[in-house]
Amino acid sequence: MLAGGADGFVRRYDLRTRSEKAPAAFPETDDLPPDLRDHPGARVFAACRACHALGAGEGPRAGPSLHGVFGRRIATAPDYAYSDALKRLDIVWTSETVSRLFEVGPSIMTPGTKMPEQRILDPADRAALVGFLEKATR
């Protein structure tokens, strides 16, 4: 299992032994769209990159691709096995709902999610992430 946290590190865990394994390979900054590499939200997105791809045609990783996420109903990205709990939720991803997800945490806003608990406490960091995602996922 991979876990990315607000500290910017991506960790690998062996679920059988519940122990941390060697650090996960981390995608390079040059995997980001060139015009967004210096965007303030790119730094915040660093913890998300192990699980989520941004581009069209990039298959799901541990989480679904975020391409086209804004305006999309939750649990409808192609080629990803969502939990039944998420499929029952009535959420459309907007700048407000994405910001709220990271304000309160996935376990509160999207109960039944496979997403590890990720909260971004700083409103400026949440706004930077949302701004970055709005541009990077078009």
Q: What is this structure's pTM?
A: 0.79
Per-residue confidence at 26, pLDDT binned at 50, 70, 90?
very low
Three-state SS at 131: helix
For 108-128, what is each residue's pLDDT tens digit?
999 999 888 889 999 999 999
Q: Supply the range of the domain harboring residue 95.
A: 28-136
Domain count, the chain: 1
**Torsion sign (Cα): 77, 52, 110, 19:** positive
Instruction: Quote the CA–CA distance of 32 and 100 in Å, as a whole number.
Output: 24
What's the CATH number where 87 sits? 1.10.760.10
Residue 18 lies in a domain: no
Per-residue confidence at 81, pLDDT binned at 50, 70, 90?
very high
Residue 9 lies in a domain: no
DSSP 106-127: HHHHSTT--S-------HHHHH
